[in-house]
Amino acid sequence: MFLSLLLPILIVLLNPAAIAALNSELSPASDVHLKASMPPMVRLYGELVPMPGFSTLSALDVRDAITSFLDDKRRKEWELSLELDTAVDAPGIGRFRLNAYFDRLGPAAALRLIPSHIPSFDEIGLDIGLKDKLLPSSGLVLVTGATGVGKSTTLATLLDTVLRERAVHVLTLEAPIEFILEPHRGWTASANLCWAWPTGWARAGWTR
């Protein structure tokens, strides 16, 4: 799955030597980080590790990799605001989250694959008793944790369970929209709040 995320990057950077290495030792990695003057890095068990087979990237290498994922509208938004947090659908590859920005060395990015399959309670090890807490018509559920521990996946599992068990309308407010929730007994609508602060929140009618 992680290799699928890297395929467009590998094509842009023209380094097929990395494919074999990534398919084995780096398969548990969660994120890809691209930054000028450094080789591509992956987050492996919480630590950044260089991708085998890659040399140091230039600012142009990173820019080419980022713009290969963006349409003209999002490319212009990134160049104007100097930061872009978005979800990208790559046909034949998958859906992933892209955070593109600029630092003192030039363009940089972090990418994370968004699985198309929403796992069940059993698949991610959630206590089945938690399901009963999702069925009342009111309440508050907080999902917290460090980067990469599975907060988004957990939330997707909880919401998918609600949609399967209850005939309700679920509204999600995300920045950007990550997992695609499918209707079952209930149906869903997702609003994308991925706008630059503060103008985006103002458009949403929110203030500091």
Q: What is the pLDDT of residue 36?
A: 92
**Distance set, CA 52 to CA 22, 32, 61 (Å):** 7, 13, 17
Q: What is the pLDDT of residue 94?
A: 63
Q: What is the pTM assigned to this prediction?
A: 0.67
The pLDDT profile of the chain, 208 residues, written as one tens digit per residue, is 344 445 545 444 434 444 444 444 545 566 889 999 998 888 877 788 888 777 888 999 889 888 888 889 989 989 898 999 888 876 655 678 889 999 999 999 998 877 778 888 888 888 888 877 777 777 788 888 877 778 888 888 888 888 888 888 888 887 777 787 888 887 777 766 544 444 544 545 554 4
Q: What is the pLDDT of residue 152?
A: 85
Whole-number Å distance between alpha carbons of 83 and 41: 20
Q: What is the pLDDT of residue 1?
A: 37
> Which two structure tokens, joined as six digits, stand for 173?
């407010």
Q: What is the pLDDT of residue 14?
A: 36
Q: What is the pLDDT of residue 140?
A: 81
